[in-house]
Structure 1
Amino acid sequence: MEKSKVLVVGGTGYIGRKIVKASLEQGHETYVLQRPDIGLDTEKVQMLLSFKKQGAHLVEGSFSDHQSLVHAVKLVDVVISTMSGVHFRSHNLLMQLKLVQAIKDAGNVKRFLPSEFGMDPALMGHALQPGRVTFDEKMTIRKTIEDANIPFTYISANCFAAYFAGNLSQMGTLFPPRDRVVLYGDGNVKVVYMDEDDVATYTIKTIDDPRTLNKTIYLRPPENILTQRELIEKWEKLIGKRLEKSTISENDFLSSMKGLDFAQEVGMGHFYHIFYEGCLANFEVGDEEEASKLYPEVQYTRMDEYLKLYV
């Protein structure tokens, strides 16, 4: 079967650059939206040029110029949006409404993957304020996609390893502690940790797969469903040392959120749902909705292997 042509919107972002790489590696003709408002950001410009060197096409398009977005979309079969949804970076999920309108007007797209890649927003209707804004906005995007009858796949990628595993799920750092570690509650709630390159690999695998059409696909490979304690044990084994452990109770954690700035409160709310409620693994996923079952040929990165980077 001929491989789809892919447009990545947000290709210079954290997960976007990995999606571009995976798309090229899997043999897709790959386009990356080049936005004119990039200005003098030399790092992003150099990244775009490196994509070009690897075989990607750069296509100019602006969210303030509808026709330029329509033109970009008409070049491809599949559009993948990787625009930032985290508040400590540049949170701009609702800008995707303009992209959805361009896809609707172009009328040629066989599959759209909006920027999700975290928890399934359809399961987060109970989420704490102000953090639930992320899920509400994602559901607004979903409704617009579905109302426009645009074929879709939603990717629920759970916890990116660089943010949640490399630091043993400690807040405020991206490196693992070597002496003391804080447990959320008893540290026995199941969490799903994903290497970001694997997220990109699985994402691209879905785009031409009829089994994933108009579905939410969960990235929950069985060996990466771990409690915080199990993750810490893997680190302790690697460094040959036991860490001193303290715990923060659910009530104390919720109390510590009060008075923080908006971005911090959003982030901590998400931590609460992951590490106290277990929202990533407290429901069943069918084989046809779980990526490692759909694509057993992918050799995904286990977290003990991932943590070796930090030794």
Structure 2
Amino acid sequence: MKSQRIAVAGGTGKFGRHIVEGLLEIKQQHSLEVIVLSRTPASEGISYAGSSAPIVTVDYQDQDSIRKVLNKYQIDTIISTIASIDTSEGFISAQESLLRAGLSVPTFRRFAPSEFVVDSEQVKGIKLYQTKVPIIRSLEEVKAERGDFFEYSRFNCGIFMNYLGYGNTKPEGHKAFGHLDHFPWLIDLSKQKADVPGDGEMDMVYTRVEDVGKFVAAASQLDVWEEYNDMAGEVMTINQVIRVCKEICGERPCFSLYFVDLIEAMQVRNSTSNTTQERKFWRI
């Protein structure tokens, strides 16, 4: 059954706002109700594409307060976009509180954890993603208990393509980031430098954060949610990306070594890695 009443946890954040905007873009077409859950009180909601969503203040460590909000708005779907850069314990418990609060609301039946970017189970060697695994275990348990009456989906999009525009010297180059923080991931156009993972020949997935928002919004209108909802704006090697940068900049960027521990943590070069595992991040 399609989502109709959706709560976006962390929807005031840099990434979460794109999810909210994606939903607001289709709100009128599908008669959706969208609310944004936030730790911080706000005087006004989020408006986009002629629609708006109220911001409701909650304490992510207080299941009862979350339950009251979800029950008041008769929420059927929770999309978590809360940031994993918070304290490990706080992030883990916040997602667990969202799920447990939802399970006590009669209308609740769908949950999307704060996954995105990569499949956290394939990068367990990276501390940032270790905190994303516990909620997956909880979701698996709930699914086993509730069967078809509960669905969850993990949205994987690869790297935010917007980061490849870091260092753009054009007057409006900053707009390439959308709501994201300006962050140099792999490439810095202003310094004409690039970090190369491995030999640079591994396929990597890139998706614009704006398109991630549109994809998640469209997926909310699917009758059935699969465990994985993967997306890919583009699949290229970093060497191919660098060649495009050379064409744009007209000069040859210099290279620096990439953080090799990341590649080891991905385990995509090990003989134990199968094609399904690789698909989750590098290939979709």
Query: Common fold, TM-score beyond 0.5?
Result: yes
Q: Secondary structure at the match of 2:165?
A: coil
Matches for 1:181-260 after TM superposition, within 5 Å: 181-211=194-224, 213-221=225-233, 224-247=234-257, 253-254=259-260
In structure 2, C-alpha distance between the alignment counterparts of 1:217 and 1:182, rounded to whole Å: 29
Q: Which residue of 2 aligns with 1:173?
A: 184
In structure 2, C-alpha distance between the alignment counterparts of 1:49 and 1:112, rounded to whole Å: 22
The verdict on how the C-alpha distance between 1:29 and 1:135 changes in structure 2, with shifts beyond 3 A counting, is closer
Q: Which residue of 2 aligns with 1:111?
A: 110
Query: 1:185: Cα distance to partner?
Result: 2.3
Residue by residue over 1:100-148, the C-alpha shift from the partner in whole angstroms, topping out at 9 and shown as x without a partner, is 1111111312321111112223444xx3264552353343343354355
In structure 2, C-alpha distance between the alignment counterparts of 1:158 and 1:133, rounded to whole Å: 17
Matches for 1:1-311 after TM superposition, within 5 Å: 4-27=4-27, 28-35=32-39, 38=40, 45=42, 49-51=45-47, 54-74=51-71, 75=73, 76-86=75-85, 92-124=91-123, 127-128=124-125, 130=127, 133-147=130-144, 149=146, 150-163=150-163, 165-167=164-166, 173=184, 175-211=188-224, 213-221=225-233, 224-247=234-257, 253-254=259-260, 269-270=261-262, 273=265, 277=269, 283=275
The verdict on how the C-alpha distance between 1:90 and 1:132 changes in structure 2, with shifts beyond 3 A counting, is closer
In structure 2, C-alpha distance between the alignment counterparts of 1:141 and 1:160, rounded to whole Å: 27
Range moving further from structure 2, 197-206 or 78-87:
78-87
In structure 2, C-alpha distance between the alignment counterparts of 1:68 and 1:135, rounded to whole Å: 23
CA contact (8 A) 2:118 2:158 kept: yes
Query: 1:176: Cα distance to partner?
Result: 2.6
Higher strand fraction (1 or 2): 2
Residue by residue over 1:231-256, the C-alpha shift from the partner in whole angstroms, topping out at 9 and shown as x without a partner, is 111111112222233445xxxx45xx
Q: Secondary structure at the match of 2:248?
A: helix
Query: 1:197: Cα distance to partner?
Result: 0.7
Residue by residue over 1:4-53, the C-alpha shift from the partner in whole angstroms, topping out at 9 and shown as x without a partner, is 12111111112211111111111132111243xx27xxxxx36x544499
Query: 1:274: Cα distance to partner?
Result: 5.7
Q: Secondary structure at the match of 1:217?
A: strand
Q: Secondary structure at the match of 1:232?
A: helix
Q: Secondary structure at the match of 1:109?
A: coil
Report the AA paired with residue 215 of structure 1.
Answer: E
Report the AA paired with residue 68 of structure 1.
Answer: S
Residue by residue over 1:47-93, the C-alpha shift from the partner in whole angstroms, topping out at 9 and shown as x without a partner, is x5444994212334322433321122222222111111246999714
CA contact (8 A) 2:122 2:266 kept: no
CA contact (8 A) 2:204 2:238 kept: yes
Report the AA paired with residue 217 of structure 1.
Answer: N
Q: What RMSD over aligned residues (CA atoms) do the two structures have, in Å?
A: 3.6
| Structure 2: gaps of 5 or more residues | 168-182
In structure 1, C-alpha distance between the alignment counterparts of 2:238 and 2:267, rounded to whole Å: 8
Query: 1:158: Cα distance to partner?
Result: 1.6
Q: Secondary structure at the match of 1:155?
A: strand
TM (norm. structure 1) is 0.67
The verdict on how the C-alpha distance between 1:68 and 1:135 changes in structure 2, with shifts beyond 3 A counting, is closer
CA contact (8 A) 1:121 1:135 kept: yes
The verdict on how the C-alpha distance between 1:130 and 1:96 changes in structure 2, with shifts beyond 3 A counting, is closer
Range moving further from structure 2, 85-94 or 26-35:
85-94
In structure 2, C-alpha distance between the alignment counterparts of 1:192 and 1:19, rounded to whole Å: 19
| Structure 1: gaps of 5 or more residues | 40-44, 255-268, 294-311
Residue by residue over 1:286-311, the C-alpha shift from the partner in whole angstroms, topping out at 9 and shown as x without a partner, is xxx9xxx9xxxxxxxxxxxxxxxxxx
Range moving further from structure 2, 269-278 or 107-116:
269-278
The verdict on how the C-alpha distance between 1:31 and 1:192 changes in structure 2, with shifts beyond 3 A counting, is same
